[in-house]
Amino acid sequence: MSLDKHQLRTYYKELRASLSEEEIEQKSLQIKGNVISFLNGRKGLNHFHLFFPIPKHREVNTFPIKAYLEENGAAVYTSRVDPKSLQLKTLRLKPNTKFQFDKWGIPVPEEFDLVSNDLIQVVFIPLLAYDQKGNRIGFGKGYYDAFLAGLDPSVLKVGLSFFAPELSILPELHDIPLDYCITAEKIITF
């Protein structure tokens, strides 16, 4: 029996909650290692959009990936939700900027430039679950699907996950699939 999106969200939130802080950090560092392997085979990528982990959601810690990208001269971007339009606005980070938490517990950079998303070549995408075809489930707000729809189709869409893929997730019309997913164990191509 397959689970619907609501059931999968509940299941993966519980699965994440069962991970210790040490497991999250260890798996996050293993994911960083696989991100480096992924990038080593793809020269010419210099503009990366990265999400930053919301502690209460127990997401992959992407700060080590940010540090690696900056150390290697890459431009790093992130997004924040515009309160008026409820769309993601693109922020280019200043190198080594510090972060603070907003009222929702989202890490927000202190130094950035508000920019267009035209230069972005790779988007690292948060997710709760994904399947063997690259369909993914987020937290259900649709921010990333709308953001991805506005990008050039050549932009690489890369999920980061602690877990293996589900067999199948029924996509909705607005869903945009991943091109890759990077876990602690491997790099999956769709």
Q: Please check if 136 is assigned to a binding site.
A: yes
Q: Please check if 73 is assigned to a binding site.
A: no
Q: Please check if 139 is assigned to a binding site.
A: yes
Token representation of residue 33 = 């290692």
Classify residue 33 by burial, with Cβ atoms within 10 Å: 0-12, 13-18, 19+.
middle
Distance (Å, rounded) from C-alpha 168 to C-alpha 131? Answer: 5
Q: Please check if 6 is assigned to a binding site.
A: yes
Q: Are 127 and 136 in contact (CB under 8 A)?
A: yes
Q: Please check if 68 is assigned to a binding site.
A: no
Q: Please check if 69 is assigned to a binding site.
A: no
Q: Please check if 71 is assigned to a binding site.
A: no
Q: Please check if 57 is assigned to a binding site.
A: no
User: Residue 25: in which H helix or E strand, if any?
Assistant: helix 21-40
Q: Please check if 134 is assigned to a binding site.
A: no
Q: Please check if 148 is assigned to a binding site.
A: no
Q: Please check if 174 is assigned to a binding site.
A: no
Q: Please check if 41 is assigned to a binding site.
A: no
Known binding-site residues equal: 5-9, 59, 136-144
Known binding-site residues for ATP equal: 5-9, 136-144
Known binding-site residues for substrate equal: 59
